[in-house]
Structure 1
């Protein structure tokens, strides 16, 4: 099957954070998939906005996507619901609502499980049950509504730090390339097999100084920003807009954000 109208929905990972191009734009797995699908007549939109939870996507991104009449939608979401402390039943309800809504208008919908990154996060033991609940909900919803399941939860690459950016949460360029490979595999489309090839050697273990710098430069600033925004009623992602709000040829790049 050849897809002509591809729309990506989601959060910062779908936007492409930490897969930075030289011109200041973010690329990301969705752009990489679009590059494989690219052909005469192909158009691509990316409605992802960093920080978005599933309930926000349902009222902001899903209606916009339906108007575009896509023949392929990829939905990468749930990480912010996990990080914000939503309960397992609430996460399941949100996943079901989102997948049900998108499959009601798109003939092919792809959904993703999340790798368990809790071992790299402070107080990560609190995240594992919510990640498991999210993945169970994604698997259930994909079966219930006929979505394509991209089940990357067991991917061993999660243990290789080279697949992640400085915050140890968002994917690096290598990680985005790998995620694109997983999606294209699930869609049974041909792509460069090196995207899923294991990296040579092993990542250098993090030193105590590395851990301190990560805590200082990544964890504490995020914690401070989240606390401040909560006090003033600001939502994550406020002020940001979708990177590609309309279907357009891949060669038509949006302006640099900010």
Structure 2
């Protein structure tokens, strides 16, 4: 199928963290990869990415959805909800998600939603597993309600493999972004690059001392700064992602992936 205009909305995963362009010009991510592949069959495709790191579903609804609707896309992807889970905002998730999808589905011919992986793979976050399950149930039910497309990342046998993620173990790394892009293209009935879905080789088992060292590095450089930043932001009334803007706010032509 040919698409005229593709708009991505969501949070850091849709923005492209942690998949930097090789030249250091910014984050790429699965949305840029999908847009580049779509441009192969739709050379006149225009693509905008309104996603901003740290955004909750209610913020996506208020800040990104009006802009997306005004751009009149025929394809919209929404990847969000993770920040609602981390902040424990269960009461607003369902209402915000429903309104987002209802609104963009009136404009776009194709809307793609995503489930989240099991965050319990990370030490210290097992207690929020029920929240992730609740969000995934909401996403699945909302996709069925509005007849949208759904990428259930849990169907990928490597979904929880650490090698798909960046140094913080929370955001996708380059390998993970390529796999998500392949799943989106497959959902849109377009063939992805087979290399993007290559099965991973068996993981090597590190000795206990090396595993412990990796956990300590992760705690020191990612977990502790994140917790400190969260506490500081609450004290001064800031939200995660404040000060950041969409990387591609206006639709523009896309260069196909080489």
**Bucket of the pairwise TM-score, normalised by the shorter protein:** over 0.9
Q: How does 1:196-215 map to 2 (within 5 A)?
A: 196-205=197-206, 207-215=211-219
Matched, 1:143 2:119: no
- The structural deviation recorded for 1:20 is 0.8
**Aligned partner of 1:221 among 222, 225, 229:** 225
Residues 204/74 of structure 1: CA separation in 2 closer, same or farther (3 Å cut): farther
Secondary structure, in 3 states, of the residue corresponding to 2:163? helix
C-alpha deviations, 1:124-159, integer Å up to 9, x for none? 222111111111101111111111111112422133
Q: Tell me, which stretches of 5 or more residues in structure 2 are unaligned?
A: none
C-alpha deviations, 1:58-116, integer Å up to 9, x for none? 010000000110010000000100011122x5322222122112112111100000110
Taking the aligned partners of 2:131 and 2:49, their CA distance within structure 1 comes to 27
Q: Is the 8 A contact 2:118 2:160 kept in 1?
A: no
Secondary structure, in 3 states, of the residue corresponding to 1:158? coil
Taking the aligned partners of 2:187 and 2:109, their CA distance within structure 1 comes to 15
Taking the aligned partners of 1:182 and 1:112, their CA distance within structure 2 comes to 10
Q: How does 1:5-84 map to 2 (within 5 A)?
A: 5-24=5-24, 25-38=26-39, 39-84=42-87
Taking the aligned partners of 1:57 and 1:210, their CA distance within structure 2 comes to 34
1:256 corresponds to: none
Q: How many residues matched?
A: 250
Secondary structure, in 3 states, of the residue corresponding to 2:23? coil
Taking the aligned partners of 2:55 and 2:77, their CA distance within structure 1 comes to 15
Secondary structure, in 3 states, of the residue corresponding to 1:40? coil
Residues 203/27 of structure 1: CA separation in 2 closer, same or farther (3 Å cut): farther
Secondary structure, in 3 states, of the residue corresponding to 1:156? coil
Secondary structure, in 3 states, of the residue corresponding to 1:235? coil
Taking the aligned partners of 2:106 and 2:128, their CA distance within structure 1 comes to 31
Q: How does 1:94-243 map to 2 (within 5 A)?
A: 94-122=96-124, 124-205=125-206, 207-243=211-247
- The structural deviation recorded for 1:203 is 4.8
- RMSD of Structure 2 on Structure 1 (CA): 1.5
Report the TM-score, using the length of structure 2 for normalisation: 0.93
Secondary structure, in 3 states, of the residue corresponding to 2:154? coil
Q: Is the 8 A contact 2:153 2:159 kept in 1?
A: no
> Deviating runs (4+, > 4 A) in structure 1?
203-206
Residues 173/203 of structure 1: CA separation in 2 closer, same or farther (3 Å cut): farther
Q: Tell me, which stretches of 5 or more residues in structure 1 are unaligned?
A: 253-258
Taking the aligned partners of 2:116 and 2:205, their CA distance within structure 1 comes to 24
Q: Is the 8 A contact 1:17 1:170 kept in 2?
A: yes
Secondary structure, in 3 states, of the residue corresponding to 1:109? strand
